[in-house]
Structures are given as C-alpha cells and as structure tokens.
Structure 1
C-alpha cells in the first residue's frame, strides 16, 4: 500500500465514519433516555433513501402508506383512551395530530410526487414522511412497556426491526436504488479526488452533532432529556414526563437516521435491508462509548469507518468480521472495569 492508496482509504473511512457517528449518537440518545437498544435505527436510513429515490423517479413512496397505517393505529388508541377517560381535549388533539395532519400530508405527497420537484423539496418531503415514524413506533411498540426490563425492550426492538424490514420489502421491493448527489462538484487535492457530496456528508454530520450539543445544553427540552437520562425517577418527580421525553428521543433518532439516509444515498446503493448493517456499525460505535458518552461514540464511529475502509483493502472478504470483532475487546475491558467498580463499592 502506497501513500496514495492510504489517502483514498482514509478519506473513505472518514466519510463513512461520519455517517456512523450520527447513528451512534442516535442510539446513545435513545438508550440513555428510554433504556431501549434501538435496533431499528438503520431502517430509518434505508427508508429515507428509498423514499427520496421514489420521489426522483416520480412515484409515490411506499413510506406514505406506512405512515398512514401507524397514524391510524395511534389515532384509534388515543381516541379510545380519551373516551374511556372522558378527556375531550385528548380526543381532539389525537384527531388533529394523528388524523388531519397525516391526511393533509398524504394529499400533498400524492399531488407532488409525479412532478419534477427540486431536490431540496424532495428531501424535505422525504424527511416529513420518515421522521414521524419514530414517535409513532414509540407510541405503538415501546410506550406501553416503558418500565419493562432492558432485555424485554431489546426483544421488542428486534421484533420491530424484523417487522420494518419485512414491510420495507413489500413497500420498496428487493431492488436497490441510489439517489442523485446533492453536490456534483469535484476538486483535486494532490492524488485525491474530493467530491462535493463527501464534503456535504462530513459538514452535515458536524453541523447535526453540533446542533444536538446546543439542543441538550441550551434548550429546556434538551435539559429535560438530559435529566431523564441521568435519573428517570428523579426527573418524573420534578414534573418531567418520561413519556414525552421518550417520544422526543425517538423523534430525534428518526431525524438522525433520515438525514443519514439522504447523505449516504448518493454514495452507495440502498436496498430495503441495507440499514440494518449500517445501524449495527453505528451500534458498535455506541458500544465503544459505553452507550452513554456522545463524544466517545462519535470517536468510535470514526474508528469503525477507518477500520472498515482499510480492512476492505487488506481482507475485503472479512471486513465485516473485523469491524464487529472490535466489540469484543471493548466489552471485555468494560466488564473488567465494571467488576472493579462493584468491588470498590462493596
């Protein structure tokens, strides 16, 4: 391997690592707030890219029907709960949020889909269809068992992932898609060819992580999420709703996944189950951060991206094995460290 090849691999590793960093931050966010290991995080990546691809080919994306189905289910659950509790306000709010708004969005999407829309409009519509799936999934699958054990929540996450993967196959088919790049410029820096899309990926990742840092440290809702992550019971005693915190965490995770899908869609071909492997690599990065540290998770994501890139050169057939093997020494070290802490406490 010469310096030129090493530079190309480094560039590729940083780009993919930036995507994994976003997903790792989303996984850490959901786990710290709700104790849910969010296995379906990668599905938002695939659904977002495939939704954008459908818009670019003039088709109504299948994500719309999934959104309407989940909205209808949540509408029925909330209306029944409101009627049972004789809470008129809850019924009216459910009719507006889960009835009128999704219906209006559906009419807008069906009308606009066959038209040649600007890419930014397509991206906004894709995000509008994918991001609401996060809180809807939380309401249907996780909120009723919010106080269950971590193991039960993990089993539910695996079930949700399998269900979404199957639904993705029905909605999008087995063929892969690749969306057009948002920036087609190219620059030559020595032997490297830097594309505008790669710069956009890194810049968007840095801005998104910076925005999350500002949100958690400067806004009331962000501080409420941090309080829930530190001490769920204490936050509830202070009047912070753990249910609303969980819904917000899932919304942010869905937004992170959807943004990642739009960023990675022009770089690689996406099929209905591509997101699972991408999400697992984000999970590896989150494990490096102990599922609690955002900076360590982001640094671990860059490490995963670089390891994957260089492994594809030296042993392409085993690159996935090498990447996932990275979990073992991290878990081993953390197990020893945890044991030492327990012994000190005793």
Structure 2
C-alpha cells in the first residue's frame, strides 16, 4: 500500500468531528427496556417484511447506516428531506442511489404508535443495519442504543464519504478522522460482500486507467474483460452494473477471497493489498469467516457508536 499519511489537516473538518466525539459511553444495551420494550422486535419485523419482498434491502440498509455515520455521526441526517435552498445529504452525489429508506419509515410509524417520541431514527438505522446483516446469513449482535437525531443535513458534506476511487492513504485519512483504525477499515470494507454497484463506481479501472494502461493492471484480466462487457466505454444504460460479488445477497467472506485474486471491484477494495497490515488482514479474513465476522461486529459497534444528534424526530424525514 501507499505510505500512510498524516491526518487531513482541515481545521473545519476536525471541529465538525469533535462535535460528535462522544461514543459508546452515552449509549446502553437496555436503553428502551422500560420506555419501549418492543423497539427492537418492531424494527426487526419491518426489515424482515421488506427483505421477504426485495433481496436488495439488506445491502441498502447497511450502506444507509454507513453513509449516515460518516457524516456528523450516526444521527439519521441521511434521511432528511432537502428543504428550500438547503440540499440534504440524501441528494448529494454519493447518496442518490441510496434506497430502502421506506423500511426505516415503516418501523418508525409502528414505533410511534406504540411509544411516541421515544425511539430515534438513528437507533432504528443502527438496528436495521444489524438485522440486514443477520438476515443475510451474517452475525447478529447487541446494538448499544440511545442515539439522538440530528437537525442538520447538507449535500455538500457528502464529499467527506470515502469514495470507491480512494487509495489506501485516502481511506486511512477518512477512517482516522472518525476514530476508526486500519483494522476497522478492512473489517467494514467487508460489507461490500452485499449489494450491487453501478458502472460509474469502477469505470476508472476499466477504461483509460492511466497513460500506459487502458485497464488497471492489478485487475485479473478475465474479470476486467467481463466488467468491460457489462460497462462499455460509452455506456448509456442508467442501471448498468454488477453484483459486488457472486454471493451478493449472502453475508460471507467471499469479498476478501476475490481481492486476493485481483477481483476486487473498486479501487478502494483492491487498495487493501497495498499496505502490509491491511494485506495481512485481507488474507486472514479470506481464510477465516469466523475471524471476519468477529472483527466486523466489533467495528460496526464502534462505528455506530459515533453520536451527534440533538432530538428524537417524530418523522424521520423532517426535523421537529
């Protein structure tokens, strides 16, 4: 991997992230035990119902939670509607393909009927992401709860999300700014075992890669050829793309095995082999599904414990 660089020196960015530096000590496993004891089962049922009708829902919910937590902490700001001249996060370029937001709305509606004004949209997102993984054959875990919902959502801040074109130094910066380690980076990247990607996210690797290579030389030739057939240079098909891996509706460790074969889809996936520590973790997770799932759970709890909200929204799409 490329050399690890110092943290991104933007004072403004550091100030933003310091505002949600509080972590799991403000959350608890039994937060709703007395105020809304059915909270988790209501969310789980909403996710189960959606998954039974649409197998793309788990990947969508996991991505939704990740994109929420990386901007202003896990405060459900990704769910807010744009209003007036303010363009919200969900309408920012990296988020326009987010979907399954209706699952969160459905769970919130049921929760408001049982225990109005108690369960935050941010907690629903965290619980739904856990259920999405579990229902896809992955691990389950106890989710610390007690997050608050944010009141600010800006599309301009979505540039802070790690991009599929990032190299290892850029990835390290992005995760470090949120208190996440290189171990967390590799484990959470394993979430790419679920879902689908549009051509735009990996087009840079298969067409005009650089001045000497048409295709990224780190890609397996047959894999690159297949992607080129799916995503030709002047592709006009809006929904053209490919599954993240052949078992893209099952949460497993196939993602890491593919990276070792030169079949990682994004630049940011294949970049995990460019630094000794992350390369060793890729190899470890490729050889042991158990090691991966244990690391993934730990990193999910760590990431989802970055808090930053101020209220409990009555409607997940608008501030109170």
Q: Do the two structures share a fold, i.e. TM-score over 0.5?
A: no
Structure showing greater relative contact order (alpha-carbon pairs closer than 8 Å, 6 or more residues apart): 1
Larger Rg: 1
TM range (shorter): under 0.3
TM-score, structure 1 as length reference? 0.23
